[in-house]
Structure 1
């Protein structure tokens, strides 16, 4: 922070809060997927529908609406915390507990230096845009790695709890940040999952210390260079939407009775974003289940994945405890009417999501039957592989062995055994079996 303990926290934090009411999460149900197969995230097949509520009343004979959850409902603890900090000076926050003090300090520091971060992001984004537009016989593809580094170094990483992250070490054109700061990010192994089911490498994994002595994985992010939000939603018919009946007042979001304003939900946006979102959904599910496996005592297991581009971002949440899948509407990263300036609402939203362990209350159900309406159906679709998802997932994996027809193939041993008597015996037995 800047000098002056009597200075109040940055006003941008509190001006953004009322506008976050437009952020809503659709409840999704998975209809079909290849979760039982050995598939990398890039080859994930995961078809889903927005859950719809169907209700018949005397006054309204027939009502159908999508099941949404307010951001302020899920992150009520965080919203309450920001409101509590209104009017606080930097001296006042010394009375907060350690994690709260660190969190609000990170956010305030970012707003104090937001201009420098905007310049860095804009410089890299513009550089890559110009590279894409240039033609020398063929188009030059922008470097996703350069943009990922910029987003990690000058936005997400600066807002994360430990301000610590790892970028996938297998990324193409690895190097330092191209904004001019010359910072070289931390590259490493970001593989999660299991070779017999969904698995692969995450673009960015954020870690923090919290109460642990060592770094612990906290949150993940997936970069997508062409994520787009179209103003014209696609046509959706009753046959493409999941409908669930409910009794009056049961199982609905206590603070929301309308479809999402201010943005379109994941399946309502034109373009190829639905395909990339299938990857984001798979990553969110696997990471959440991994966190539950490693940290069963978390207060709740509503774990996020941030899908982000240079223009928009979207939050996918999976609750590994209750098998609930949520996805937010698209949100602008920069102010629409002020080109090049980061949206304060985006900054606060990302900060809250990255600090979900402090600020995400999760969904609280008064009746056990309410949970069933929100379930994503993933556990059922995982079938006999569910035990792998709940007990055998791995993290920080540099590479996964190949699995074919449910038989694990150790490529190193296979190469070593070639030409040996053991290998010949295996071939012979196979030939005999085919006779």
Structure 2
């Protein structure tokens, strides 16, 4: 990884010191990015990234006996009769990106910053060793080397219970000089009366990223059946559904100025990622089709498709245009399922310090006081013990 870092620095410096143009990308990068954008607006379903609307037939979002942790969330989902495509909810992102490929650079400063993040990432050709000892290391590397590098702000929090917290602010990649641009901390969201819990990563308090691998610290060797099972855990995942619903209600409360409340959450597992959306104003739940996370030609690079989707997702507040009129009738029915606790979802969700306070480790004194009284009593008990032993031997 070290050799990648030095070349990356020089390329970034060159890009940041000049005006942004499509010629900053190589012909190969332009071709791959064009193909990735094409998959967001293709008329052929097989070539497009789909959006599947779901109805919630039943769930444990409003358990009367108390709230449910995300890890124990239950959702029975039904696929509704009409499907959509991912590009339809990221129209601003498509406009900016496709205009750029045709030679037009946006005028707005924040749009230039976002676009430069994408161009820098593709120009550098970010390479990371993907062979990790455990899933906690993998989570930190994905946060540091993919999602944070594409977001308009590179700050993030990783769940403080993540096992690679032992590395401090050092990244888990193979570059010993690579440091995290975020930190470990409290990533809990929700309310203990309803769905709640800690998520893997929160980027700038704006988007949740969840590593959905079954065993966080399982050995790296996987059987074909295990790989198949892991690819299946992305689809209809109740934990990701619960987090997407809670986070959308939370963002509605925290940012009443938002005109679009179609909030994505990113789920990752093994070699794939997908987006789970929920709109807490219109009660619409959408799930994207899985996207290959890594390049098919280089195991140490992210696929351009995943880079583009990650860029759109982490910057959704600027690039997502929300539900189309065609999507509005396809209700999830969550309000009906959670009607006994819906006011909690609408008014009482919070971020951080959700759940019981952590158990503090007891720190024992370094010195101990022992006195003559205790010594005398110990000697008395020793005498009693000796007498009892002699009586047993008789």
Shorter-chain TM-score range = 0.7 to 0.9
Inter-partner Cα distance in structure 1 for 2:235 and 2:96: 36
Inter-partner Cα distance in structure 1 for 2:100 and 2:107: 10
Inter-partner Cα distance in structure 1 for 2:345 and 2:112: 35
The CA deviation at 1:411 is: 10
Q: Secondary structure at the match of 1:155?
A: helix
Alignment of 1:80-229 (within 5 A): 80-88=95-103, 93=105, 96-114=107-125, 117-118=126-127, 120=128, 123=129, 125-126=130-131, 128=132, 142-174=133-165, 175=167, 176-179=170-173, 180=175, 181-184=177-180, 185-207=182-204, 217-225=205-213
Listed as ranges, the gaps of 5+ residues in structure 2 are: 1-11, 43-47, 216-227, 361-394
Q: Secondary structure at the match of 1:280?
A: helix
The CA deviation at 1:171 is: 1.6
Partner residue in 2 for 1:39: 68
Deviations 1:347-399 (A, max 9, x none): 11110111111111111327xxx734x110111100120000000000022x4
Inter-partner Cα distance in structure 2 for 1:269 and 1:302: 29
Inter-partner Cα distance in structure 2 for 1:356 and 1:154: 19
The CA deviation at 1:15 is: 4.2
Of 289, 304, 307 in structure 2, the residue corresponding to residue 329 of structure 1 is: 289
Partner residue in 2 for 1:243: none
1:303 aligns with 2:229: no
Q: Secondary structure at the match of 2:153?
A: coil
The CA deviation at 1:111 is: 1.1
**Which structure has the highest strand share of the two?**
1
Of 29, 49, 68 in structure 2, the residue corresponding to residue 23 of structure 1 is: 49
Q: Secondary structure at the match of 1:5?
A: coil
Does the 8 A contact of 2:231 with 2:269 survive in 1? no
Inter-partner Cα distance in structure 1 for 2:245 and 2:179: 32
Inter-partner Cα distance in structure 2 for 1:148 and 1:302: 25
Task: Say if 1:319 and 1:276 are closer, same or farther in 2 by CA, change over 3 A.
Answer: closer
The CA deviation at 1:337 is: 4.4
Q: Name the larger-Rg structure.
A: 2
Inter-partner Cα distance in structure 1 for 2:140 and 2:248: 24
Inter-partner Cα distance in structure 2 for 1:194 and 1:145: 25
The CA deviation at 1:170 is: 1.8
Alignment of 1:213-252 (within 5 A): 217-225=205-213
Partner residue in 2 for 1:50: 79
Deviations 1:45-86 (A, max 9, x none): 11111112xxxxxxxxxxxxxx21111111112111112212
Listed as ranges, the gaps of 5+ residues in structure 1 are: 53-66, 129-141, 208-216, 228-267, 403-409, 413-435
The CA deviation at 1:336 is: 2.7
Q: Secondary structure at the match of 1:173?
A: helix
Inter-partner Cα distance in structure 2 for 1:226 and 1:270: 7
The CA deviation at 1:278 is: 0.6
1:69 aligns with 2:80: no
- The TM-score with structure 1 as length reference comes to 0.67
Does the 8 A contact of 2:20 with 2:116 survive in 1? no
Partner residue in 1 for 2:374: none
Inter-partner Cα distance in structure 1 for 2:230 and 2:80: 19
Of 34, 37, 59 in structure 2, the residue corresponding to residue 14 of structure 1 is: 34
1:401 aligns with 2:356: yes
Does the 8 A contact of 1:14 with 1:82 survive in 2? no
Partner residue in 2 for 1:341: 301
Partner residue in 1 for 2:19: 5
Over 6 Å off, 4+ runs: 268-271
Inter-partner Cα distance in structure 2 for 1:194 and 1:153: 28
Number of matched pairs:
313
Inter-partner Cα distance in structure 1 for 2:84 and 2:292: 19
Inter-partner Cα distance in structure 2 for 1:226 and 1:401: 24
Inter-partner Cα distance in structure 1 for 2:154 and 2:259: 22
Deviations 1:195-220 (A, max 9, x none): 1000000110011xxxxxxxxx2111
- Structural RMSD (CA): 2.6
Inter-partner Cα distance in structure 1 for 2:340 and 2:20: 59
Task: Say if 1:392 and 1:72 are closer, same or farther in 2 by CA, change over 3 A.
Answer: same
Partner residue in 2 for 1:292: 252
Q: Secondary structure at the match of 1:161?
A: coil
Task: Say if 1:320 and 1:6 are closer, same or farther in 2 by CA, change over 3 A.
Answer: closer
